[in-house]
Amino acid sequence: MGDKLLFVQGNEACVEAALYAGLGFFAGYPITPSTEIAELLSMRLPQRGGKFIQMEDEISSMCAIIGASLTGLKSMTATSGPGFSLKQEAIGYAIMAEVPCVVVNVMRGGPSTGLPTKVSQGDVMQARWGTHGDHAIITLTASNHQDLFAVTVEAFNLSETYRTPVILLFDEVIGHMRERLMLPEPGEIPLVQRLRTSVREGTDYHPYLPREDGRLPMSDFGGVHRYNVTGLMHDMWGFPTDNPQVAYGLMRHLVDKIEGHVQEITRIKEFFLDDAETILISYGSAARSALHVVENRRARGERMGLLELQTLWPFPAGLVRERCSHAKFVVVVEMNMGQILLEVRKAMQDSERVFLANRIDGTFISPTDIRNILRVIQGKGV
C-alpha cells in the first residue's frame, strides 16, 4: 500500500479527494481554518496542468469557479464562515444558471469574525438558506477522513448530475485533525463526468431544456454552441423572461431536481439503530463523540444507537422519521443552537421526544458533555 496510506489533516484529505474527482480549477482566498486547501492546491494543481488562482476576495473566488466551470472544468473553492457569507450571492447565481461547482466551508465559530480557530457547526442553516430567494441545495458533511474523501468525490458527482453547486460543510476539528486516510485506487469510486450535449453544430441547442430524466446536457464555453447564461429568470435558450409560466416552470425545475431526488442524494450511517430506545442524531466531528458514547452504552447493555447524517440538505426527513419512530428519546448532537434539531423536530412531528445536546462555546463537544446532557434527558438527575 505504501503511498496509498496517508496520515493527514481533513483539509488535505479534501484536496486528495478533489484531485481524485478530477478537479481542474480552484479559486480561493486565505481564511482560517480552510487555508490549507488553497495552499496545497497551489502546489498540486499546476503539477497536473490544472488551474489555481488566488483571487482578490471571497466573492471573486466564487465567481471565477463559475466562469471556469462553464468552460468544462470541474471547479471548487474553499472558505469559512465570513467568506461563505460573501459568496452567497454568487452561489445563488450558480443555482439559477445551473453551473456545477463545489464550495467547501470549514466551519468556525460565528457570527461575524467569531472564533476563527475554534470549532462550530453554526453554518448549517446558512448552507440551506444563505442565498436569497427560493431554492434547493445539496450539502454534505463527514466525521472522519475516509468519509470526508468519499463525500468530497460525491459532491463533484452530484454537482455534475444535478448541474448545481454542492456545499461541503466540514468543521474546524475535521479540517485540522490528523488521522489515517487510505487513498482509493483509480476507478474504485465511480466518477460522474460532465454530461455534454450531442446536438451538432448548426442545430438549435437548448441549454436550459431538461431531458426526460430532468438532466440538462451542457456545452462548453468556447465550443460550437453559443448561448446565454444569466441570473435572470430565463427560458430554454437562456434568454431573460418574466413570463409567469416560464418563471413557474424554472422555479419548479430548480427545486424539484433536488428535492425530488432526496433518496438518491441521502447518505447516512447507522449504528445500533434496530432496537434503540435512545437515538443520537449527529454529523461532522460531533458524531465522533456521539459514536463514542453509543458504543460505551451498548457495551453496558443500554439500547442506544446513532444515526449519522452525511447529507444535511436536502434533509432526509422521511428517513429520520422512519428510523426514529420507535425511539423513546431522540437526541440531536451538534455544535450550534439546534439547527438540525429544528429539522428533526419537524420530521418527527412530535417534539416532546426530541432533545438537543450541544456546545456553542468553540469547544469540541466531548463524550462527557453528551453523557451529562443524557442524564438530564433520561431523568437520571444532573
Partner 1 sequence: MPVKAYLRERFMPHIWCPGCGHGTIMNNLVRAVDSMGLKKNEVVMVTGIGCSSRISGYLDFHTLHTIHGRALAFATGVKLARPELTLIVPMGDGDALAIGGNHFIHAARRNIDITAVIMNNSIYGMTGGQFSPLSGYGKLATTAPYGNIYESFDIVELAKGAGASFVARTTTYHVASMKEILEKAIRHKGFSVVEILSQCPTYFGRKNRVGDAVDMLNYYKDQTVPIGSEKKNENPALIERGIFVQEERPEYCAEYERIVEKAKRGVGI
228 or 363: CB nearest partner 1: 228
Closest contact distance (angstroms) between CB of 220 and partner 1 is 8
The nearer residue to partner 1, 74 or 118, going by C-beta atoms, is 74
Question: Whole-number minimum distance, CB 57 to partner 1, in Å?
Answer: 6
- Tell me which DSSP letter residue 240 carries: B
At its nearest, how many Å lie between partner 1 and the CB of residue 77?
10
- Residue partners of 144: CB distance under 8 A and separation at least 6: 174, 179, 288
Phi, psi of 196, rounded to the nearest 5 degrees: -105, 150
- Least distance (Å) from partner 1 to the CB of residue 186? 20
Alpha helices in 300-338 (DSSP H): 317-323
Residue closer to partner 1 by CB (options 51, 176) is 51
Report the alpha-carbon distance of residue 85 to residue 97 in Å, rounded.
Answer: 20
CA dist 347 and 163 (Å) reads 27
**By C-beta, is 240 or 318 nearer to partner 1?**
240
Nearer to partner 1, 221 or 270 (CB): 221
Q: Which is nearer to partner 1, 61 or 285 (CB)?
A: 61
- How many CB atoms are closer than 10 A to CB 210? 17
| Pairing status of strand 138-140 against strand 115-119 | unpaired
Query: Closer CB to partner 1, residue 202 or residue 301?
Result: 202
Distance CA 146, CA 301 (A): 29
- Output the smallest distance, CB 125 to partner 1, in A: 23
Q: How far is the CB of 41 from partner 1 (least distance, A)?
A: 11
Please name the helix (run of DSSP H) or strand (run of DSSP E) that holds residue 182, with its range, or none: strand 178-182
In sequence order, what are the residues at sequence separation of 6 or more whose Cβ sits closer than 8 angstroms to the Cβ of residue 212? none
Q: Residue 107 Cβ, how far from partner 1 at the closest point, in Å?
A: 24
Contact positions vs partner 1 (CB under 8 A): 24-25, 27, 43, 46-47, 49, 51, 53, 55-57, 59-61, 63-73, 75, 89-90, 93, 221-224, 226-232, 237, 239-240
Q: Is the CB of 234 or the CB of 267 nearer to partner 1?
A: 234
CA 334 to chain centre: 16
Matching residue, cell 441549454: 207
Q: Is the peptide bond before 165 cis (omega within 30 degrees of 0)?
A: no
Sequence-distant (≥ 6) Cβ neighbours of residue 93 within 8 angstroms: 63, 66, 99, 231
Nearest-angstrom CA–CA distance, 185 and 169: 25
Shortest Å, Cβ 252 to partner 1: 23
